[in-house]
Every structure is written in C-alpha cells, then in structure tokens.
Amino acid sequence: MKRFAFFLITVLLAASCKQAQDTRYFAPAVEFASAQYTVSAGDGGLDISLQLSRPATQAFNIGLNVDSSLEAGVQYRMASTSVAIASGQQDASLHVDLVDDEIWVESAWIELTLRPGERYTLDPATNSTARVDISKHVVIPILQLSIPEDQQEINAYLVPPVTLRLAADKAPLTDLQVPLTVEGLTAGEDFLVDGGALTTLTLPANATEAAFTLQFLRKDQPGYDARLTLSMSSEKGKYGVGNEGASVAVHLTDPPVDLSPLFRTSAQAGEGHQIRQAILGADGETWNGNTAANFTLSAQGSSYLKSLRNMGTTYGCLSNEVGLHALRLVDFFPNLRTTSGDAILDYGRNNNTRGFSPVDSLFRFVLDPGSTTQGTLALNKPRTFTAYVGDYTLWKNAWENDSKATGGNISASTSPIITRRVDVVLEKLEGRFNLADASNTLLFTAWFSCDSPQFMEGVDLSALGAVQEDGLWKVQYKLWPR
C-alpha cells in the first residue's frame, strides 16, 4: 500500500510540472522598408524591400495593388503583383524593371499598396504604401494629337472642316515625319488632310505645333454613322508619344428627320400637302406674297422635301408637277406676269400656272447634334431651273391653235414661235427648322444667279427684299404648312 501511494504521488508531481504545448499562430505585420523611392529611368530598374515584424512560421504570398502614370508591360515591368514569403523568412524584395527607351516623360511614378491577407497583418501606422518617383533627362520631343472638343461630333452631310493639331513639348531640330494609323474611314475616299490623301503629318523644324485641316467628303445618306480614329506611335530616337494625345477621333452622323409634323392639309388635287410661302421685304419685317403650293416627301430620302406646283388641268397640264413654284422665280422678272410682251411659255397662259422646269429634292433637312426636331435647311448641290420666254400674244394664238394636238407640250408645237431659254441657278440655301414649334415655320435664305438680263431688272425690290451679294441675288423666304 505504501508503495502504491508513493508511485501515485510521483506521477502526479510529474504531471503538474509538465507545461501545455502552445499551438497558436501569430501573424507577422508586413510593411515596406521605405515609403519613398527615387530612381532614374536610365538605371534600368530598382528593388523595393518589404519586411516582416517576425520570421514567418509558414509560407504565404503578400498581395500588391499597383498604380502608375506609365504603361504596364511597356514602360515598366513586374514579374508579379505578389511577393512569396517562405517559412522562416523575415524580409523580401520586389524588382521593377524600367524600359528606358519607352519612357518619354521627364517625371513619372509607380505606387505600390499592400493588400490585406490572412497570414499577415497591416499596421496603419507603418508603410503600407511605397511610391517610386522616376526621373529622366528627355532630349527628344514628346508629341500629342488634338481636335477641338466642339469638332469631335459633326454632321456627315454638312461636313464642316475639322482642325487637327500636332503639338510637341519642345521644338525638333529637323522636320519630323509622323505617320498616322487610320481606322474607320479611308483617306482620299472619305476624308482629306490639307486637300490630299495624307496619312503622314510633318512637324517643321523649330516649331512646337502644326495645324492641319480635316475635310470629310459629304455623305448624303440619312442614317449614316461612322467614326474616324487617327493614332500615332513613338519612334525611338526621334520622338515620343505621350500617354494622352496618342489618338483622336471624329464621330460623323446624319440622323434621318421625321417630317410628318409638316404634313397637315392635303393637296386639293394631286399628291402632297399644302404649304404657304412668303418673301421678306426690304424693311426686314414685312412678309410679302403669301401664296400656297404643294410639297411632299422626296424619293431621294427621308430628310428631303420636294416642292410641287399647284396647276390646273387647262390644256392638259398636270395638277401637280415637281417644280420650283414654291420659290416663285417668275416674280424675279419684270414683265413675265403680264398678258402682253414677254412671258414664260412652258405650262399655260394663266399667270398662276407659269413656272420653271421640274426639280426634285429642293430642301435638305439636317438635325443639330443631339436633337430630333431642330436643325439646318441646306441644299445638296446647286440647282438649275429652266424656262422658255417668248412673245405672249404670238404664243397665246399658237397655243390655242394646236394645244390639243401637242397635249399641252409647248416644245412640241409646230407654230413659229421665237423663244429664248432662261436659266436660274439656285447656288446655295441656308436656313433653320424647328419641328417642335407649333407653327413649323421654315426660314431660309436663297442665293440665285441668272443668265438673263431681265432677271431682277425693274422688279420692285422693296417687296422682294432682294439684294446683291458677291455677284449673287440674295432672297429671304418663309414657308409654313397650311
């Protein structure tokens, strides 16, 4: 019994002296050895050191977030965005390669930030971020392309000129030839640079900027949508290209216009709808004329209107024929509205049926950028309108004699009538429209030329408000749906 008691006491004493094993994991704190590094691009790179508060008891990876003013993989390289730590290790380093030939700025930076992890801790009071400032002595110019902001979105029909600028931070000692990469459109077919199909820009020696004119070739295609992108790349030893300004783009659109608000009252005869027109007088306030004509959509496209003459069926003339009656060209001749002397002989003997030869697609509607109801009235090309003028009395007699035989076609008449041809050219047209406005008024200015000495000779210019401008006659019109 005594022996057993002694043995039990011995065992208990041994157990009380043995310490419990500690299995807890103490995560080391991680930080950068320094918060700031400075290096020259010519050095080729640098090592960034990390340190742990205690040796690692097991292996793990430290994650990094990287931000930089340089392009990763081109101007600088890192093997990984994490650092491997082995068991027992208390410090490590990360190497950053700098590609000197690809760095075109005098100062740049890289910023590394430690990411939180399960096997280590971050102390806000220590260096959890390291910044690398990179310097370089740059001797070659750094180039930049630019286009004014208000010219980056243009209408493909109006195609205003666009200014393309090539700038350098320092003037080159010799002319620089800078080839462009073109995407989206074709030079020479869709656009011109300074009047030609240039895809290489020249920055003259001792100049820090050169300007070029981009002229897009008109696309008369409602619904057209395209983008031109021009870009350039650095050429080692000659010039560099900054991170900004390496490329520019121009977006060209021509949305179709919904012209249905203009169609209110149907034509009394024939196709189309009625529209009124007036001419602004010389006082700049009074609208004269206020006659009505017909118009309808053009077969040329959804953004076009064509004008129609209101014509009677006398002598076989059609009730509606495509033409320019809406602009009343006959009013620009002094004695062509009378019942004697010279008259336009094309279509009939009544004053309100006289007109010029047919024409389609007179008005082109072009929406403002971002708008679906407002925009510009334009003319897609100069229009020539033709009439034949002769003695009214001779013509009247001849017309009445053979009108039935010719079907109302004066050119088929066999009667001896001496006529001369009169051409009036609508050289350009500029105006505005607002289809959201209740009146739907179209205001525009037209410029005419004519080969006839009778054009505007002896006409009451106070009523027409016509003035000469650079050899053309300028007349202001108002059209509004009836």
21 or 145, higher pLDDT: 145
Residue 347 has pLDDT above 60, yes or no: no
The whole-model pTM stands at 0.65
For residue 290 the two structure tokens come to 């206020």
Residues 84 and 63: their CA atoms lie apart, in Å, by: 9
CATH superfamily label, 30-135? CalX-beta domain (2.60.40.2030)
Specify the pLDDT at position 13: 46
Provide the 3-class DSSP secondary structure of residue 438.
coil
Specify the pLDDT at position 322: 47
Residue 19 has pLDDT above 70, yes or no: no
Residue 287 has pLDDT above 80, yes or no: yes
HSE value, Cβ hemisphere, 13 Å, CA-based, for 209: 7
Residues 469 and 129: their CA atoms lie apart, in Å, by: 70
Specify the pLDDT at position 370: 85
pLDDT band for position 171 (50/70/90)?
very high
Specify the pLDDT at position 403: 58
Which segment of 23-32, 212-221, 304-313, 455-464 scores lowest on mean pLDDT? 304-313
- Hey, do 30-135 and 142-254 end up sharing a CATH topology, with the first three levels equal? yes
Q: Would you list the domain boundaries of the chain?
A: 30-135, 142-254, 260-481
pLDDT band for position 84 (50/70/90)?
very high
Which segment of 73-82, 97-106, 208-217, 412-421 scores lowest on mean pLDDT? 412-421
Sign of dihedral through CA atoms 449, 454, 457, 462?
negative
Are 215 and 159 a contacting pair, CB within 8 Å? yes
Residue 319 has pLDDT above 60, yes or no: no
Residue 78 has pLDDT above 50, yes or no: yes
What's the rounded mean pLDDT across residues 376-380? Answer: 86
58 or 453, higher pLDDT: 58
Residues 414 and 223: their CA atoms lie apart, in Å, by: 49
User: Across the strands, what pairs with 196?
Assistant: 193
Burial of 254 (0-12, 13-18, 19+ CB in 10 A): buried
Residues 126 and 118: their CA atoms lie apart, in Å, by: 18
273 or 448, higher pLDDT: 448
| Candidate CATH numbers 3.20.20.70, 2.60.40.2030, 1.10.3720.10, 3.40.630.30; the one for domain 142-254 | 2.60.40.2030
Question: How does pLDDT run across 397-442, given as a tens digit for each residue?
Answer: 666 665 556 655 555 666 666 677 888 889 999 999 999 999 999 9
Mean pLDDT of the chain: 83
User: Across the strands, what pairs with 250?
Assistant: 228
14 or 191, higher pLDDT: 191
Scanning the structure block, which residue is given the tokens 């959509």? 297
76 or 378, higher pLDDT: 76
Specify the pLDDT at position 336: 64
Residue 79 has pLDDT above 50, yes or no: yes
For residue 328 the two structure tokens come to 């009343």
Question: How does pLDDT run across 179-238, given as a tens digit for each residue?
Answer: 999 999 999 999 999 999 989 999 999 999 999 999 999 998 889 999 999 999 988 888
Residues 26 and 121: their CA atoms lie apart, in Å, by: 10
Residue 291 has pLDDT above 60, yes or no: yes
Residues 418 and 97: their CA atoms lie apart, in Å, by: 92
Specify the pLDDT at position 351: 37
Percent of the chain with pLDDT over 90: 49
Amino acid identity, position 163: T
The string of DSSP codes covering 348-410 is: -SSGGG---------EEEEEPTT-SSEEEEE-SS-EEEEEEEEEHHHHHHHHHHHHHHHTT-G
314 or 175, higher pLDDT: 175
